[in-house]
């Protein structure tokens, strides 16, 4: 049985050798290998170039770090003393308080302006309403004047319980007062008496 295993191993070994010889005889593999070697050389050259550039950059950064350290040391030597810092902090606090007071005053002024603006709008609405009422009153006055010129009667509009007014005759320059009580006379009689006064 051991001889059989040894025989199998020899056959496999010979098979592998044949495959290896075939691979080595294949020109494409050699070309590919040469190509890979060339590429590796190019890559190595690029890596060397990048390494040199990195070394230069590191050197530049070291110089910048040294300059920063020097600036830090210079700044530390010029640092203001504790008393000056306390004084500056106090001044800053006072300025902040003054700013807060100004902001509060500004808020109060804005609120006052808003309130005045609302009042202005309200006054404008009232003015327009008053103007409309005046126009309506003027219209009613013209209407009343027209009625008075046609009927010769000027009613007393302030009396609520009685129907009263004056009869005016421009030609005779006569003014005569009249008065009717709706509680004592019916509307038909008052209407007839009014037409009689107009016809006079």
**Are residues 159 and 141 part of one domain?**
no
Whether the per-residue pLDDT at 164 is higher than 60: the answer is yes
Instruction: Work out the percent of the chain whose per-residue pLDDT is above 70.
Output: 80
62: left (phi over 0), alpha (psi -120 to 50) or beta: alpha
Distance CA 128, CA 137 (A): 14
* pLDDT band with cut points at 50, 70 and 90 for residue 1: very low
Whether the per-residue pLDDT at 88 is higher than 60: the answer is yes
Query: What range defines the domain where residue 190 resides?
Result: 152-200
**Are residues 94 and 141 part of one domain?**
yes
**Are residues 158 and 130 part of one domain?**
no
Whether the per-residue pLDDT at 4 is higher than 60: the answer is no
Rg (CA), the chain: 59
**Are residues 146 and 93 part of one domain?**
yes
* pLDDT band with cut points at 50, 70 and 90 for residue 160: confident
Give the model confidence (pLDDT) of 17-56 as tens digits. Answer: 777 666 666 556 566 666 666 777 777 777 777 777 788 8
Residue 199 lies in a domain: yes
pTM comes to 0.36
**Are residues 100 and 147 part of one domain?**
yes
Distance CA 5, CA 48 (A): 53
- Which is it for the CA torsion 140, 143, 148, 153, positive or negative? negative
The pLDDT of residue 133 is: 92
Residue 171 lies in a domain: yes
Residue 97, classed as helix, strand or coil, is: helix
Residue 68 lies in a domain: no
Distance CA 94, CA 126 (A): 48
* pLDDT band with cut points at 50, 70 and 90 for residue 80: low
Residue 41 lies in a domain: no
Q: Which of 151, 168, 184 is the last residue of a domain?
A: 151
What secondary structure does DSSP assign to 11-43, as a single string? HHHHHHHHHHHHHHH-HHHHHHHHHHHHHHHHH
**Are residues 171 and 133 part of one domain?**
no
Q: Identify the CA nearest to 168 among candidates 142, 137, 147, 191.
A: 147
Residue 122 lies in a domain: yes
**Are residues 157 and 187 part of one domain?**
yes
Residue 39 lies in a domain: no
The pLDDT of residue 132 is: 92
Provide the angle, in degrees to the nearest 10, between the axes of the packed helices 2-25 and 27-77.
80
């Amino acid at each position: 049985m051991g001889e059989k295993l040894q025989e199998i191993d020899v056959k496999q070994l010979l098979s592998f050798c044949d495959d290896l010889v075939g691979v080595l005889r294949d020109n494409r593999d050699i070309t590919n290998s040469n190509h890979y070697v060339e590429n590796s050389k190019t890559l190595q050259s690029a890596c060397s170039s990048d390494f040199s550039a990195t070394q230069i950059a590191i050197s530049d950064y070291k110089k910048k770090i040294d300059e920063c350290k020097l600036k830090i040391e210079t700044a530390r030597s010029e640092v203001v003393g504790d008393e000056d810092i306390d004084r500056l902090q106090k001044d800053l606090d006072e300025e902040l308080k003054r700013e807060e007071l100004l902001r509060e005053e500004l808020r109060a002024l804005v609120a006052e302006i808003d309130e005045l603006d609302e009042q202005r709008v309200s006054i404008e609405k009232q003015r327009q309403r008053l103007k409309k009422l005046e126009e309506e009153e003027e219209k009613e006055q013209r209407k009343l004047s027209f009625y008075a010129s046609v009927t010769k009667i000027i009613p007393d509009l302030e009396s609520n319980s009685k129907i009263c007014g004056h009869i005016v005759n421009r030609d005779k320059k006569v003014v005569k007062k009249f008065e009717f009580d709706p509680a004592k006379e019916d509307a038909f009689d008052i209407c007839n008496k009014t037409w009689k006064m107009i016809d006079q």
